[in-house]
Amino acid sequence: MSNRRQFLSSAARASAFAFLPFPARQLLTETPFTTDTIIGEVEIIQVTGPYTTQPGLNKQYQAQPIHIYDDLRPPVYHDSPDAKPITTDITQAYIRIRTKSGIEGLYGMLEPETVTPILRQLRTFLLGKDAMNVSALWDQLYRNNRHSRAGHYMMAMSAVDNALWDIRGKYLKTPVYELLGGATRKEVGAYGSCLSFSVEKGRIAPRAKELYKQGFVNQKWFMAYGPGDGYAGVRKNVEIVEEVRDALGEDAQIMFDAYQSWDIPFATQWCKAAEKYNPYWIEEAFPVNRLESFVQLRRNTTIPLATGEHFYSRWEVLEFLQAGAIEIVQADPEWCGGVSELVKICSLASAYGAKVYPHGHNIHAALHVVASQSPDVCPMVEYLINHMPYKLQFQKDPLQTTNGILQLPTKPGFGIELDDTKISRRQVLTS
């Protein structure tokens, strides 16, 4: 008879679950294990509904690696604040894993690239497995595909892992952060990620001040220029830093993102000119396959280096930490292997004295992991100011903030629920 179909002795049960927070421990030691956590279905829910945007506003591009090609580099961006809002239908995808007893693990929105691997490579393997065996399922899925170490398969694994944690929380009637050891704080700070805000000269300062007054005292701005723009691009990027610092004063924490688009000469020049403005970090100066570039730049600047949204596992993180290449790890729980892997990455980072600021697409998995970690290791989450409303469009009680503070959710699991009043069409995919 399996362990899930029998009662454990009182002493054995108390010992086995002593590490769990009280709510989960109480449930596990008072409730017999049954087969009601067996996975009966793995589905993709596609939801469609209206969404309103203003086409000419907050569409600033960031520097891209491909911008070294003159014909592929966009013209200088200018806001068009007089453009009229338009409403169009948008479609988003969520993963839903259902047990045979009806417990549903829900996570999303998903990036489109994850849908096919979930349905065609992971779904069949998961059917009939115990949803509570999160660690075993992660390991089995990882070992089951030769391309699992990176890319869309790992992104699909991440979605599955997060949905399984949601099931776990619902089965044990407690938020995910409680299952991870309990909350280390009552609320979690969020730095304002200013992707898509215009970096036109003169427009940055008013927006930065406005956000600071709202409560976003920590802000990240995005570089718009790279090597294809020559030294003029370095100068324009430094002017962005100067305007942000002058607007916010010396006490604000300011960060900058180069999105893999620089090379060593360009990055070195920027760092040399920007150091006097005391940035908290420069993010993704290079693609993560250029470890030596990070090592070289770190030797030549006092600005902390950050990267990791394109890390796909703890093993990639370990290489960077062992090489002393970065101070800030930015693994994304929707890309790096889910909650299960992000927790391991946090442990690695703590051993090396590095900090983890999870890259933020959806906020849920990152928030629950950060809430369970020491504030010394995970000080805060990333909050994409312009993009979170879109990403959370179809959710009830979305995890949004206007002041840089997120209260800890109290619902079981991640607490994600779809809002039928915002959905005009729903489609369930199983293949």
Q: Is residue 60 part of a domain?
A: no
Question: Residue 82's pLDDT is what?
Answer: 87
Q: Is residue 67 part of a domain?
A: no
What gap in Å lies between CA 322 and CA 282, rounded to an integer? Answer: 20
Question: Residue 10's pLDDT is what?
Answer: 37
- The domain total for the chain is 2
Beta strand residue intervals within 223-332, DSSP E: 253-257, 281-283, 305-307, 328-329
Q: Is residue 82 part of a domain?
A: no
Tokens of 41: 């279905």
Q: Is residue 51 part of a domain?
A: no
One domain for residues 157 and 292: no
Q: Last residue of a domain, which of 132, 159, 177? A: 177
Contact 385, 194 (CB under 8 A): yes
Contact 188, 370 (CB under 8 A): yes
One domain for residues 215 and 272: yes
Contact 114, 159 (CB under 8 A): yes
310-369 pLDDT, tens digit per residue, is 999 999 999 999 999 999 999 999 999 999 999 999 999 999 999 999 998 889 999 999
19-38 pLDDT, tens digit per residue, is 455 555 555 544 444 578 99
Residues 6+ apart with CB under 8 A from 323: 291, 294, 295
Q: Is residue 237 part of a domain?
A: yes
What gap in Å lies between CA 25 and CA 20, rounded to an integer? Answer: 5
Q: Is residue 295 part of a domain?
A: yes
One domain for residues 104 and 199: no
Question: Residue 328's pLDDT is what?
Answer: 98
Check the CA dihedral 287-290-296-299 and report its sign.
positive
How do 104-110 and 86-99 pair as beta strands? antiparallel
Query: Looking at the DSSP assignment, which residues form a beta bridge with residue 221?
Result: 256
One domain for residues 142 and 214: no
One domain for residues 283 and 363: yes
- Alpha carbon distances (Å) from 178 to 363, 388, 425: 17, 24, 35
One domain for residues 24 and 167: yes
Question: Residue 247's pLDDT is what?
Answer: 98
One domain for residues 241 and 354: yes
Residues 183-221 as b or e (16 or more Cβ within 10 Å = b): bbeeebbbbbbbbbbbbeeebbbebbeebbeeebbbbbb
What is the domain-level CATH number for residue 200? 3.20.20.120
One domain for residues 151 and 219: no
Question: How crowded is the C-beta side of 304, counted as CA atoms within 13 Å?
Answer: 17
Going by C-alpha positions, the residue among 214, 193, 206 that lies closest to residue 81 is 206
Q: Last residue of a domain, which of 142, 177, 212? A: 177
Q: Is residue 104 part of a domain?
A: yes
Residues 6+ apart with CB under 8 A from 102: none
- Mean pLDDT, rounded, of the chain: 93
One domain for residues 272 and 146: no
Residues 6+ apart with CB under 8 A from 34: 4, 5
One domain for residues 321 and 355: yes
| ω into 109 cis (within 30 of 0) | yes
Q: Is residue 429 part of a domain?
A: no
The list of the chain residues with pLDDT below 50 reads 1-19, 29-33
pTM for this model (two decimals): 0.92
What is the domain-level CATH number for residue 115? 3.30.390.10
Q: Last residue of a domain, which of 140, 158, 177? A: 177
CA angle 240, 245, 247 (to 5 degrees): 95
One domain for residues 272 and 134: no
| Domain coverage including residue 406 | 183-419
One domain for residues 170 and 228: no
